[in-house]
Structure 1
Amino acid sequence: MSSSSSDELEERLEEVFDDILEDTYNNIVDSHHNNPVRRLYIERDRETGHERLWNDYFCENSTFPPNLFRRRFRMNKDLFMHIVHRLSDDVPFFRQSRDATGRPGLSPLQKCTAAIRLLAYGSAADAVDEYLRLGESTALLCLHKFTENIIRLFGDEYLRRPTPEDLLWISRSQSLYTLSLTSIK
């Protein structure tokens, strides 16, 4: 085969390849623009979610007593409320706003509860949907904003290396916990 026919063949292969590549690209672009992905709107009735949360844990005659609050939130109610108030005062995301129709958005309690439940239980983000009435992407956003701002607002005061006294207290607490578990069996 001569050098010129080899060059011609190479040129023709490049043309075919370029044509195929261009056609494939155009098909992808055309199909993307012709079939926009629409998000499904789910009416979650977030007001009911806030009301249920308030009545279960925060009103004067709440459904669940303080010991269950502590067990489920991994902290006492006063500390939780301190965190909620501080976040809603200092971080616009945690303030309750109104949507385009004038309805109130998620409350600071719902946003903080979602984040703390995800942290406390290590559960999937959509696990808080049915109770708190917020979707998976919103729950993940709450978790991200919560952790970011807890570090920013409370990091210097609470997020420090443990002192020898802290380590001793943790060690004793772990020992007592282990003993209580073995006595239950």
Structure 2
Amino acid sequence: MFNLYVATNEREEDEERRRRDDGARMGRASHSRQVIQAVAQICRPSRSRNLDRSKQQRGTELLDDYFVCNSALPNTYLRRRFKMERHLFNKIIIVVCNHDSYFVQKKNVFGAMGLLPQQKITATLRILAYGASVDQVDEITKMGKSTILESLMRFC
């Protein structure tokens, strides 16, 4: 009887010791997990804010400068800049927009109008004709790098 009582006590003590060890291990693990999560939050690179490129304003300026009937700049500027007449450029826009709907101006999810076809094709022609870099084209058309490269790939 005595041996049975001692064995039961030892078993209970062993189980209690295991529970304490497991609890301490779990506490250490959860503390380690918390430390790792905190470090990950600190080290995680934050996403850069979206730039307000005023792309709508730049699109209307581009239209006003070159492509409307009573443009601000004479036809010689368009001819010198794009190495073609206005009617040829407009014909290219029509053909490209009919071929690929990517170049057609659409509304985005928020209801704001997207880029004009003239902006996308101007960026593409600048790169192809002059070997301009994406940064140079970005300054002219106010488009992002990924949009310029997508326009170039779809045009080609």
Please indicate, yes or no, whether the TM-score normalized by the shorter chain is above 0.5.
yes
Does the Cα contact within 8 Å between 1:126 and 1:139 map onto a contact in 2?
A: no
For residue 120 of structure 1, report the CA deviation from its aligned partner: 1.9
CA distance in structure 1 between the partners assigned to 2:68 and 2:108 by the alignment: 26
CA distance in structure 1 between the partners assigned to 2:124 and 2:49 by the alignment: 23
Q: 2:107 is paired with a residue of what secondary structure?
A: coil
Matched, 1:42 2:51: yes
CA distance in structure 2 between the partners assigned to 1:40 and 1:123 by the alignment: 26
CA distance in structure 1 between the partners assigned to 2:142 and 2:88 by the alignment: 23
CA distance in structure 2 between the partners assigned to 1:97 and 1:44 by the alignment: 18
Q: Deviation string for 1:62-113 (max 9, x for gaps)?
A: 1222222112112211111111011112211111111121000001111101
Query: In terms of mean alpha carbon deviation, does 102-111 or 116-125 score higher?
Result: 116-125
Matched, 1:107 2:121: no
Residues 5-154 of structure 1 mapped to structure 2, 5 A cutoff: 35=44, 38-147=47-156
TM-score in terms of structure 1 length: 0.57
How many residue pairs were aligned?
118
Q: Percent identity?
A: 37
* 1:39–1:141 distance in 2 versus 1, CA, 3 Å: farther
Q: 1:104 is paired with a residue of what secondary structure?
A: coil
What's the Cα RMSD here? Answer: 2.2
2:28 equivalent in structure 1 = none
For residue 37 of structure 1, report the CA deviation from its aligned partner: 5.8
CA distance in structure 1 between the partners assigned to 2:105 and 2:125 by the alignment: 18
TM-score in terms of structure 2 length: 0.67
> Which amino acid is the alignment partner of residue 76 of structure 2?
N
For residue 137 of structure 1, report the CA deviation from its aligned partner: 1.8
* 1:88–1:39 distance in 2 versus 1, CA, 3 Å: farther
**After TM superposition, which residue ranges in structure 1, 4 or more long, deviate above 4 angstroms?**
none
Does the Cα contact within 8 Å between 1:125 and 1:137 map onto a contact in 2?
A: no
User: Which stretches in structure 2 are left out of the alignment for 5+ residues?
Assistant: 1-38
Choose 1 or 2 for highest CA Rg: 2
CA distance in structure 2 between the partners assigned to 1:40 and 1:127 by the alignment: 21
> Which amino acid is the alignment partner of residue 44 of structure 1?
R
Q: 1:67 is paired with a residue of what secondary structure?
A: helix
